[in-house]
Amino acid sequence: MARMKFLCDADRCIECNACVTACKNEHEVPWGINRRRVVTINDGLPGERSVSMACMHCTDAPCAAVCPVNCFYTTDDGVVLHSKETCIGCGYCFYACPFGAPQYPRVSNFGTRGKMDKCTYCSGGPEADMTQAEYIQYGTNRLAEGKLPLCAEMCSTKALLAGDGDIIADIYRERVVTRGYGSGAWGWRTAYGETIQA
Amino acid sequence: MTSRAFAAAMVALFAAVALLFSAMPETMAQQVTPTASSVQEDELLRALQTGENVSGRVSIPDRQAGELIKPDNKGWADLSQGTLQTFAVGILVVALIGLALFYFIRGRIALEGGFSGRSILRFGWFERLAHWMLASTFIVLALTGLNLVIGRAVILPIVGENAFGTLSSWGKIAHNYLAWPFMISLAIVFVLWIVHNIPGRIDLEWIKQGGGFMKKGVHPPAKKFNAGQKIVFWCVVLGGAAMSYTGVMLLFPHLAGTGADWQFYQVVHAVVAGLLSAVILGHIYIGTLGMEGAFDAMGKGEVDENWAEQHHSLWAREVKSAAVSPAKSDEAIAPAE
Ligand code: HEM
Ligand code: SF4
Ligand code: SF4
C-alpha cells in the first residue's frame, strides 16, 4: 500500500492560493475554516518563500495520541482521518498538532465550538465512501474515485505534490539536484521524523 | 524648453538607462542565487527557541494560521498522554491503597464510650448546603475530568465508541457548566470557615501526636477544626483556586494567551486535579468509613457530645459554656440538658 504524503516545494510556490480555493470549493468547507493555507516566510525580504500547508497526515499522529475519545484513525494509505460523530470538540488535537490543521466551525470556548474539521486528504471519513452523508461532513472522497487530492492536482507550478511518499520524495530530490537548490521538504521532519536529502 | 536642450536631456536619459541595464545582470545574479538567499526549513527549525514557531504571513483573515510549524506541540502531546496519564492513575492508586492499608491496620476509629445520645449543633443548614454543593460539583468535575484522561483506555473498550462519544460529550458539558457552582461554593466555604482555619500553636501538638490516628485512646485537643482538617481546608481552597483559574483559562483560550500558555495551564490543571483528588479521597474516607460519628456533622449537622469531646475538645467546651450562659453568646442554641 502506498503511504500518502504532501510535499510543498517552496522554491516553486508562487502564493497564488489556488490550492486553498480549490479545497474550500471542492469540499464546501464551512465559513472560517481553511483546511489548507499558504504561509509566506520572510515576506518581502530576500529569500522569501511560500509554503502551502494543511494536515500532513503524520506518522504517529500527535492529534490521535491526545484525543480523549479516540476519534482518529489511520487508513491503509497512511491518511489520518477522524469521526465527527465521536468528536466532542474539546480542542486537544488543535494544541497537539504541529501544523495548526484542526479547526472548529465556531469561535467560542471549547465545548461549544462544534466538531473539529481538518484536511481529509480528499478521502472523506468513516461514513461509506462517496455517499451524501460522507460528503456533508467531510467533503468529497477523491481517493475512492482513484484521484489524488485536488489542491495538488491543480497546482499550476506543481509546487504542491501529493501521492506516495517515496515517489514524491524522488521527484523533489531530482528537482533539487537539477536546479541545484531547495529550501527543504517543509514539515517532513516534524511530521514523518525524516527529511529528504538531495 | 528648446529642442536642442530636449535632445540633450533625452540622450542623457538613454545613457542613464543603458548604464543601469549594463549594471543589472551583475546585481541580479547576486540577488537570485537561491542557494545563498532562500529560507531553509532546517535552519529555521534549528534557530527556534523553546516555545517558538516557524511562522510567516497569511492572506486569510485567521492570523493564527500564520504559524506554520509548531514543533513543541508534539512535546505537549507526549507529556499529556504519557506522563500526566501515568501520574493521574498513579496518585489515585497510591491513595486508594494507602487508605485500604490504613483501614485494615487501624480499623475504623471508634467512638469511645459509645453515643451519649445528646447532640451539639456543628454546621447550620447554610454551611451544609455550601459544603454539599462544593462536594457534589467536585465529584462530577473530578469524574468527568478523569474521563478525559483515562476514559479512552478504560471505558471506551467496555461501552464502545458511540456510547463513549455520547458519554464524553455530556461529560464535557457537565464539566464546563458545573465549574461555576463549584467556584461559587468554593468562595462561600472559604468565607464561612476561614476564621476556624487559621493555623495556631495547638495544631503543632495535634500533628506531633499524629492526630491520634495512630493509637487508640489518644485524642489531642482541637478547636472547631483540627490541624488535619485545616490542611484539608487549605488544600481545597488553594487547590480549588488553582483549578478554577487554570480551568477558566482552558475554557477561554483567548484569555490564556498563546498555545504554549494554554498547554501550561492544562498541565497544571491535570496535576493539581490528581493531587487534590487524592486529598479528597482521604477526606471522604475519614468523614464516612474511617471514623464513627463523623458523618453526622455534615449529614444531620449535629454531632454526638462524646464525639465532640473526643475529637474537638476545646470546641465542645466552648459550645457548652456558651449554652450554659446563652446571654454571652448569640451562637447556635444548644438543646437544654
Ligand atoms: C473550577 C473550575 C474548573 C474549570 C473552569 C475547569 C475546566 C476544565 C477544562 C476547560 C478542561 C479542559 C478539557 C476540556 O475541554 O474538557 C478541564 C479538564 C480537566 N479538569 Fe477541570 N475545570 C475545573 C475544575 C476541576 C476540578 C475541581 C477537577 C477535579 C479534580 C477538575 C479535573 C479536570 C481534569 C482531570 C481534566 C482533564 C485534564 C487532562 O486532560 O489531562 N477540573 N477542566
Ligand atoms: S498534521 Fe496535525 S491533524 Fe494532521 S495528522 Fe499531523 S497532528 Fe494530526
Ligand atoms: S476536538 Fe475532537 S478530534 Fe480533536 S481531540 Fe477533541 S474530541 Fe478528538
- Tell me if A81 is assigned to some domain: yes
What is the pLDDT, as a whole number, of residue B319? 84
What is the pLDDT, as a whole number, of residue B27? 45
Interval B69-84: pLDDT, tens: 999 999 999 998 889 9
Residue, of A25 and B24, whose pLDDT is higher: A25
**What distance in angstroms lies between residue A83's CA and the mean position of ligand 2's atoms?**
14
Ligand nearest to the CA of A88: 3
Structural domains in chain A (count): 1
Ligand nearest to the CA of A61: 2
Query: Could you state, in order of their start, the residue ranges of all structural domains in chain B?
Result: 72-322
A121-136: average pLDDT: 94
Interval B262-313: pLDDT, tens: 999 999 999 999 999 999 999 999 999 999 889 989 999 999 988 898 899 8
| Distance to chain A for B87, nearest Cα, Å | 16
What is the pLDDT, as a whole number, of residue B324? 67
CA pair distance A141, A149, nearest whole angstrom: 9
CA pair distance B251, B267, nearest whole angstrom: 14
For residue A80, the ligand 2 atom closest to its alpha carbon is 5
Closest residue by CA, ligand 3 atom 2 = A87
Lowest average pLDDT, out of A18-22, A189-193, B21-25, goes to B21-25
- Tell me if A61 is assigned to some domain: yes
The residues that bridge with A6 in the sheet, in sequence order, are A162
A93-109: average pLDDT: 89
Closest residue by CA, ligand 3 atom 7 = A87
Q: Which of A6, A34, A58 has most ligand 2 atoms within 8 Å of its beta carbon, as the pocket-test mutant?
A: A58
What is the pLDDT, as a whole number, of residue B323? 72
- Tell me if A125 is assigned to some domain: yes
Task: Say whether A114 sits in a helix, a strand or coil.
Answer: coil
**What distance in angstroms lies between residue B195's CA and the mean position of ligand 2's atoms?**
52
Interval B134-152: pLDDT, tens: 999 999 999 999 999 999 9
What's the half-sphere exposure (Cβ side, CA atoms, 13 Å) at A80? 27
- Taking contacts as CB-CB distances below 8 angstroms, the residues of chain B near A50 are 56
B231-258: average pLDDT: 94
Q: Do residue B39 and residue A34 have CB atoms under 8 angstroms apart?
A: no
Query: Could you list the residue range(s) of the whole structural domain that residue A127 is in?
Result: 4-191
* Window A:74-103, CB contacts with B under 8 Å: 83, 85-92, 95-100
Lowest average pLDDT, out of A47-51, B178-182, B327-331, goes to B327-331
For residue B138, the ligand 1 atom closest to its alpha carbon is 27
- Tell me if A197 is assigned to some domain: no
CATH (one of 1.10.287.4070, 3.40.50.10420, 1.10.3720.10, 1.20.950.20) for B72-322: 1.20.950.20
The residues that bridge with A96 in the sheet, in sequence order, are none
Residue A42 has pLDDT above 70, yes or no: yes
Q: How confident is the model at residue A166 (pLDDT cuts 50, 70, 90)?
A: very high
What is the pLDDT, as a whole number, of residue B4? 67
What is the pLDDT, as a whole number, of residue B337? 45
State the pairing for strand pair A49-53/A80-82.
unpaired
- Tell me if A57 is assigned to some domain: yes
- Contacts for A121 with CB less than 8 Å, ≥ 6 apart: A4, A6, A55, A57, A77, A79, A81, A143, A149, A162
What is the pLDDT, as a whole number, of residue B194? 95
Q: How confident is the model at residue B2 (pLDDT cuts 50, 70, 90)?
A: low
Q: How confident is the model at residue A92 (pLDDT cuts 50, 70, 90)?
A: very high
The grid coordinates of residue A186 equal 517543509
CATH of the domain at A79: 3.30.70.20
Q: Do residue B41 and residue A98 have CB atoms under 8 angstroms apart?
A: no
Phi and psi angles of residue A31, each rounded to the nearest 5 degrees, phi first: -50, 140
User: Which of B56, B77, B151 has the CB atom closest to A39's CB atom?
Assistant: B56
CA pair distance A142, A149, nearest whole angstrom: 7
Interval A149-158: pLDDT, tens: 999 999 999 9
- Summary mean pLDDT of chain A: 93
% of chain B at pLDDT higher than 70: 85
What is the pLDDT, as a whole number, of residue B33? 54
- Tell me if A198 is assigned to some domain: no
Interval B41-50: pLDDT, tens: 888 988 888 8
**B interface mutation test: which of A80, A85, A95, A97 has the most B CBs within 10 A?**
A95
What is the pLDDT, as a whole number, of residue A153? 96
CA B89 to chain centre: 16
Residue, of A54 and B328, whose pLDDT is higher: A54
Nearest to A67 by CA among A109, A99, A115, A20: A115
Interval A3-13: pLDDT, tens: 999 999 999 99
Residue A1 has pLDDT above 80, yes or no: no
CA pair distance A124, B20, nearest whole angstrom: 56
A66-80: average pLDDT: 95
Lowest average pLDDT, out of A103-112, B30-39, B46-55, goes to B30-39
What is the pLDDT, as a whole number, of residue B25? 46
CA B11 to chain centre: 79
**CA distances in angstroms from B185 to A19, B135, B226, B229, listed in the order given:** 52, 9, 22, 18
A170–B contact, CB cutoff 8 A: no
% of chain B at pLDDT higher than 90: 51
CA pair distance B151, A67, nearest whole angstrom: 11
**CA distances in angstroms from A60 to A65, A78, A145, B192, B336, listed in the order given:** 8, 10, 27, 51, 72
% of chain A at pLDDT higher than 90: 83
Residue B86 has pLDDT above 70, yes or no: yes
- Tell me if A18 is assigned to some domain: yes
- Taking contacts as CB-CB distances below 8 angstroms, the residues of chain B near A90 are 148, 172
CA pair distance B81, A60, nearest whole angstrom: 13
A160-165: average pLDDT: 96
CA pair distance B62, B22, nearest whole angstrom: 45
Indicate the burial class of A135 (C-beta count within 10 angstroms; 0-12, 13-18, 19 or more).
middle
CB atoms within 10 A of CB A37: 23
- Pocket flag, ligand 2, residue A56 (CB < 6 Å): yes
Interval B89-108: pLDDT, tens: 999 999 999 999 999 998 88
What is the pLDDT, as a whole number, of residue B28? 44
A111-117: average pLDDT: 82
- What would the DSSP string read from start to end of A6-56? EEE-TTT-----HHHHHHHHHHTPPTT--SSEEEEETTTSTT-EEEEE---
